[in-house]
Amino acid sequence: MRINLRLPVNSFDGQSDKERIRPPLKELQGRISEKGEKMAKRTKSNKITELIVILASVVLILCFFGICKKEKAVSNPKTLVWEIFGRPDKIEDSGVVLVEYEQPECVIHYNFYPRGKSKYEEELGAELTPRLKKLFERDENIGNAAITIFGPSTDTYGRYGWKPVLSFEFNRETFNSIDWSSFVKQNLLEVVKNLKWYRKSVN
């Protein structure tokens, strides 16, 4: 005797096997939507984090340059003059031989050895103009530079030395008035203040 037992299609909870195994479409859509929202939140959060990192980097860079600029402004003016104008390596070379500084006044004694390629004034201007420009750009505390130029000289006994040729002042007002993009550096002595010559002829 054979007995066939068949479970009803709507057994247990009243749902078929396929209906119980396969989640309803609305539930599946809800899960997908929930995952999409989570991914969107993560993406937004990542973008915010990246933006914060970028802003922090910009602030650090600005602070770094601000510190550098501040340090540059309070640097030792005397050391700066030696660095920019240079020292004479030999007795017949051009360069700074004395620097004194008491804010905002800077006193510079400069030995200038002309090469005779052009007029003395033009040759001197071509050599000093870029140095003065750099000095006033690098140190904002310098308000005036009083410069005495010494030239080579040989006395009647044949002894070689340096004697004052001229002196002048170059101040920050003059520095700010110059259009440096078109200024002719050979014309320096035409814009300086209190120009005074000590020797009629320059050897």
Please write the tens of the pLDDT for every residue from 68-103: 554 444 468 999 999 999 999 988 899 999 999 999
Same domain, 125 and 109: yes
Is cis: bond before 104, omega within 30 of 0?
A: yes
Whether the per-residue pLDDT at 17 is higher than 50: the answer is yes
Average model confidence (pLDDT) across the chain: 82
Report yes or no on 34 lying in a domain. yes
User: Domain total for the chain?
Assistant: 2
Tell me, what's the pLDDT at 109? 98
The span from the CA of 43 to the CA of 22, in Å, is 31
Report yes or no on 9 lying in a domain. no
Report yes or no on 146 lying in a domain. yes
What's the per-residue H, E or C state across 38-74? HHHHHHHHHHHHHHHHHHHHHHHHHHHHHHHHHHHHC
Report yes or no on 58 lying in a domain. yes
Report yes or no on 202 lying in a domain. no
List the domain range (segments joined by +) for residue 95. Answer: 77-197
Same domain, 96 and 136: yes
Same domain, 67 and 83: no
Are the C-beta atoms of 68 and 60 separated by less than 8 Å?
no
Same domain, 170 and 157: yes
Same domain, 154 and 99: yes
Last residue of a domain, one of 30, 54, 73: 73
Report yes or no on 7 lying in a domain. no
- Nearest Cα neighbor of 108 from 152, 188, 162, 170 is 170
Specify the range with the lowest mean pLDDT, choosing from 58-62, 109-113, 160-164, 168-172: 58-62
Tokens of 52: 């914060």
Same domain, 121 and 193: yes
For 108-167, write each residue's pLDDT tens digit.
999 999 988 899 999 999 999 999 999 999 999 999 999 999 999 988 898 889 999 999
Q: Which residues does 115 contact at the CB level (< 8 Å), separation at least 6?
A: 123
3 state DSSP class of 178: coil
Tell me, what's the pLDDT at 185? 97
